[in-house]
Structure 1
């Protein structure tokens, strides 16, 4: 889903996993509501519904009756019941005649004891069992250090009782009532690590302790060292004791921990650096020239690629023409780390097409089924009753002869404000976030250059949500007027459909996906080509892991932005 958090809900405080306490409280002073939430909520006067801060909707007794879905870039919500049937079509949360604030009672909130060292960068439920878990609203489950431990889902016919499975599908915990669990409020702190590190938190600060006994702050700045003999952290400045730490009791942050930014250590070897083919002093794409002279390498010694692996084949006339990939330059001081790629295409007007977000650098927007560009930047999105949408010209693409590099547009976390028009190079590791199969392994080393046109409230740090037709519409489906076929799973789209239909067999999944692209987008050749990008360039790999680095935007992407 791609939407800014509603101002009316922000007035309640940080939106997150609000506690929905089932304990009944006395009728309030208005004589209407017998349920008091543990945090401030919104009360719909006419309908008698309460909207909690995690968008769950209850009746006046605190029983959940549905969910509130924000309408993109407005103060409106649509309320649907537990069977996804509309209860309230649209309600303006800024209308004081319809909505009032229902004060919460913090004493009714379950909290994690303040002495615990368990923290999270985003809101999570905390389950203390034989092994302790953090449970997130994106259906992932981690250990206390944020390392992925499994996934959760609701028990059939329940909206509050869940079970947890590991990544192989084995049951870990069953019949857990989410509403009874304490909640850890996300602190928004992410930890920059270069290798696994112990995390120590106390009233003096937060510290990462490495195997070489160096100690850094959350941003990776060296602050001191760890003295094993005394179990103390010593200051870099003067050697004084900062605090004590017991390594045996500390959680270990690893590169796949939910709140970790992993920056691989620099290896002083030319083999670790990507050196693109150089075709000219410009970074613009140079199309192939059909004369025989075009196969000769540039004459300037400064542009010669020294590695013998880059030499041109001399004998075969059918050898592919090389030197067509744009030169990708890493941005000095830019972001880097590791994460994973997801996919979506909701047809909504991009975040970076709105004047308040674009800062003059507008991403294109379209009408007429995504085919006609429009400069009506203040116009509304198809996802909220307007007529503006994503342009189908922003499908992912490749360049002939540049087989190991692709180009696409993507959404980044909403917390990365001001990201419109930034570019990143993703290098796939050959592994998947939840499982790894031959489709993931086949794209190891491939690079995807993305340019940001959107943000996602559901996109996490290190995650890039790639715009791919058929990738899933998410919360808002603006594609109903496109004339396309069914778009598959709401989250995951056609590929998720095929994974289930093929019982997660990679070859069968890929074949199924190609067939669906052909049929679903049979009336739109451009969208079909974008859909097939996931099959042809990414081999149908779902949620592949990657290392990423911020780069200067190549002309081939800027021309389509």
Structure 2
């Protein structure tokens, strides 16, 4: 029989590797195949789902990225969405201090915003991508119209570049419904000016959590150790 002390030690060990700290955020939407969509990146049920140029899910996890002349792109349903007035779900590229891609891919993080108009709100993101240009404890949140950054797969996917600057993206909500913003990305773009209140790279405190089912249902990716982390806020 386990004593209460033994159970407490087991619980502590299960969550001992949960990442936490303070971090920064940025934003992007480059349409490229995310890095966690390749096989072998982490111990997961399946790599992150990708889509073809018609937004249909692909079954081949080794399909070449659209940013490299291939057919695999970020699916439009990776756009962020509001769960309530104070909670949102989404996806991000991450770089967490002390970890590696194998510990980041498909992990979920609860972000508590500490600055800007969004201060006091919470967002839970799943890491679907990593990047050599990211700093320590940086969350590059996926949001349409957030800027393509280093790579632009949107032109090959949609036949036109998305509106906005390369870094930073669109500057107003009206840009989200311009003729050059694909219809399937417009709601995710508007989210930035609605729930996110136009915040510009707010700071966060973060902690690793068990992924909500609504998030993994989109990505198709769950880590083998996911259940060892604390439940996310609801």
| TM bracket, shorter-chain basis | 0.7 to 0.9
Q: Which one of the candidate residues 15, 35, 48 is aligned to 1:351?
A: 35
SS of equivalent residue, structure 1 residue 338: strand
1:356 CA drift (Å): 3.0
Q: Which residue of 2 aligns with 1:463?
A: 138
1:412 matched to 2:94? The reply is: yes
For residues 490-510 of structure 1, the C-alpha deviation after alignment (integer angstroms, 9 at most, x for no partner) is 12111xxx3xxxxxxxxxxxx
Higher helix share: 2
- Cα–Cα, structure 1 residues 382 and 536, in superposed 2: closer, same or farther, change >3 Å? same
Distance of 2:177 and 2:202 partners within structure 1: 23
Give the 4+ runs in structure 1 shifted more than 6 A: none
Q: Which residue of 2 aligns with 1:488?
A: 164
1:416 CA drift (Å): 2.7
- Cα–Cα, structure 1 residues 520 and 470, in superposed 2: closer, same or farther, change >3 Å? farther
For residues 359-389 of structure 1, the C-alpha deviation after alignment (integer angstroms, 9 at most, x for no partner) is 45311100034x1000111110011111111
Q: Which residue of 1 aligns with 2:174?
A: 515
TM-score by length of 1: 0.34
1:489 CA drift (Å): 1.6
Q: Which one of the candidate residues 79, 89, 112 is aligned to 1:395?
A: 79
Specify every segment of 5 or more residues in structure 2 that has no aligned partner in the other structure, as ranges: 1-13, 220-234
SS of equivalent residue, structure 2 residue 175: helix
- Maintained 8 Å contact 1:486/1:520: no
Distance of 1:486 and 1:409 partners within structure 2: 19
SS of equivalent residue, structure 1 residue 388: coil
Q: Which residue of 1 aligns with 2:118?
A: 443
Q: Which residue of 2 aligns with 1:453?
A: 128
SS of equivalent residue, structure 1 residue 383: helix
1:317-328 pair list within 5 angstroms: none
- Maintained 8 Å contact 2:93/2:140: yes
- Maintained 8 Å contact 1:409/1:453: yes
- Maintained 8 Å contact 1:411/1:455: yes
- Cα–Cα, structure 1 residues 490 and 522, in superposed 2: closer, same or farther, change >3 Å? closer
Distance of 1:549 and 1:449 partners within structure 2: 10
- Cα–Cα, structure 1 residues 358 and 380, in superposed 2: closer, same or farther, change >3 Å? farther
- Maintained 8 Å contact 1:413/1:458: no
1:484 CA drift (Å): 5.1
Q: Which residue of 1 aligns with 2:48?
A: 363
For residues 407-449 of structure 1, the C-alpha deviation after alignment (integer angstroms, 9 at most, x for no partner) is 01000128632111100011111x2xxxxxxxx2x32210010
Distance of 1:471 and 1:522 partners within structure 2: 12
SS of equivalent residue, structure 1 residue 534: helix
Distance of 1:452 and 1:528 partners within structure 2: 22
- Maintained 8 Å contact 2:158/2:182: no
Please give the root-mean-square deviation of Cα atoms over the aligned residues, in Å: 1.8
Distance of 2:93 and 2:162 partners within structure 1: 23
1:15-414 pair list within 5 angstroms: 332-333=15-16, 334-360=18-44, 361-369=46-54, 371-399=55-83, 402-413=84-95
Higher strand share: 1
Distance of 1:473 and 1:551 partners within structure 2: 28
TM-score by length of 2: 0.80
- Maintained 8 Å contact 2:163/2:180: no
Specify every segment of 5 or more residues in structure 1 that has no aligned partner in the other structure, as ranges: 1-330, 432-439, 499-512
1:487 CA drift (Å): 3.1
- Cα–Cα, structure 1 residues 522 and 486, in superposed 2: closer, same or farther, change >3 Å? closer
Distance of 2:211 and 2:182 partners within structure 1: 32
- Maintained 8 Å contact 2:42/2:101: no
- Maintained 8 Å contact 1:487/1:520: no
